Amino acid sequence: MNVQLFETAKQDADITLEQWEEFAQSFVMGQAQKGEILLGHDQEAKYIWIVVSGVMRNFDNDSKGKEYTKVFRGPGEMLGPYSEILSRSKTRYSIQAVTQTTFIRFPYAQFESMMAKYPQWERLGRKIAEKNFLEKEKREYELMHLSAEDRYQEFLKQYGALAEQIPQYQVASLLAISPEALNRLLKNKKA
Amino acid sequence: MNVQLFETAKQDADITLEQWEEFAQSFVMGQAQKGEILLGHDQEAKYIWIVVSGVMRNFDNDSKGKEYTKVFRGPGEMLGPYSEILSRSKTRYSIQAVTQTTFIRFPYAQFESMMAKYPQWERLGRKIAEKNFLEKEKREYELMHLSAEDRYQEFLKQYGALAEQIPQYQVASLLAISPEALNRLLKNKKA
DNA sequence: ATTGTTAATTGACCTAGATCAAGGACTCTC
DNA sequence: GAGAGTCCTTGATCTAGGTCAATTAACAAT
């Protein structure tokens, strides 16, 4: 996992192995049970998680308890309160283990100090921000242009094998529809 | 305008005046009539615009001709086919002058070469990507959580004085509702 | 095995916003 | 000042998806 991430970093921004090791000093391994909340609402936004195995998600719920999921992440992917860190605010969206997971966690401050020290890391930081931006643009497009059904198709395409590990009501919360609506949509598909 | 942008760049990333001038060599001033399309669908994505006066927008339309606006920009703000440049694809969203405008235009390649040359520019590039990301996250939140009416309130808050210069049907296309729906919403407000 | 808990399913009904169609109001231009 | 565009307004009707309520299925935990 660690190795795979380094390879990407090397390719994106010529990160050296020495630098990566300096960075990885801050890594802490951990595990979480299905459903466990790793970062709750209104807490301090400090850490980024890397999924080693399992599925994690970033979600919140409104005043009526309705859930909204921003993203699911699987093995080799990162997630965390990125926007809250950037805007220096308390967390709005929680981080949760969707399934039993193993993860690596590091403080974003460590990444920041790498960026301050090495221009290549600044570049890596830019690439990451750009990638996240592109992801959000795609999402904006889907939310604006597509029907619930078409968003579901996109979901399948994007998440592939991960999709099966995610409970239906959480998928609904990603698509911004009710669990009942998703259920009916699926029923009609089969017929 | 140029001066104001430099000040921001200086503050965000310690850009020096010499560097800024090197960058600004690529600036070309221009004007556009109300409604004029500066970058159409399916063209090569190369340039970024800086609004000097007036209002510009980034929009597209689906197969039925329905419009979708991603963003409006006013004086001192930038817009362009950012995601298309980053993903090296042909433009999906067009750039249009909403009102009579004056603008500066520069090739993104110039910005890229500044980033390759100076670490501070890499940092500036990161800050810009992060800012754009935060904007999209806000938008994702609004599209997922808020009703058309609440999105309209957010629109007023975000765009302030610019709002008055934008035709109603274009505002509707930002909120992802039909012009008729926005009109009714406004009528009910007044009553 | 039995009970408690969480998730999925189904039905009945409701509502925000879409769509279609037809007028008005305002600008321009000649 | 008469058309010709645009844009805005209003009415009638439709529909995707929401909400509420009840049932069943799946899974854990004792």
Residue range A98-157, pLDDT digits in tens: 999 999 999 999 999 999 999 999 999 999 999 999 999 999 999 999 999 999 999 999
Q: What is the DSSP letter of A158?
A: H
Q: Which of A68, A115, A129 sits opposite B133 (nearest CB)?
A: A129
Res B160: pLDDT: 93
Are the CB atoms for B45 and A128 separated by under 8 Å? no
Calculated CA dihedral for residues B95, B98, B100, B104, nearest 10 degrees = -30
Q: Is the CB of A148 under 7 A from strand D?
A: yes
Question: Could you tell me the distance in Å between the CA of residue A91 and the C1' of nucleotide C30?
Answer: 62
A144: chain B residues, CB-CB within 8 Å:
68, 143, 176
Question: Could you tell me the distance in Å between the CA of residue A164 and the C1' of nucleotide D16?
Answer: 26
Res B1: pLDDT: 61
**Residues ≥6 apart with Cβ < 8 Å to A30:** A102, A103, A104, A105
How far is Cα A152 from Cα A135, in angstroms, rounded to an integer?
Answer: 16
Q: Nearest chain B Cα to A93, which residue?
A: B141
How far is Cα B85 from Cα B131, in angstroms, rounded to an integer?
Answer: 17
Residue A116, min C-alpha distance to chain B (Å) = 9
Q: Would the pLDDT of B76 be above 70?
A: yes
Are the CB atoms for B67 and B59 separated by under 8 Å? yes
Q: Nearest chain B Cα to A83, which residue?
A: B134
- Classify the phi-psi angles of B158: left when phi > 0, otherwise alpha if psi is within -120 to 50, otherwise beta: alpha
Mean pLDDT along residues A53-76: 94
pTM recorded for the entire structure: 0.95
Q: CA angle at residue B10 from B8 to B15, to 5 degrees?
A: 135
Mean pLDDT along residues B151-172: 96
Res A157: pLDDT: 97
Are the CB atoms for A86 and B133 separated by under 8 Å? yes
Question: Could you tell me the distance in Å between the CA of residue B137 and the C1' of nucleotide D25?
Answer: 37
- Would you tell me the crossing angle of helices A17-24 and A119-145 to the nearest 10 degrees? 70
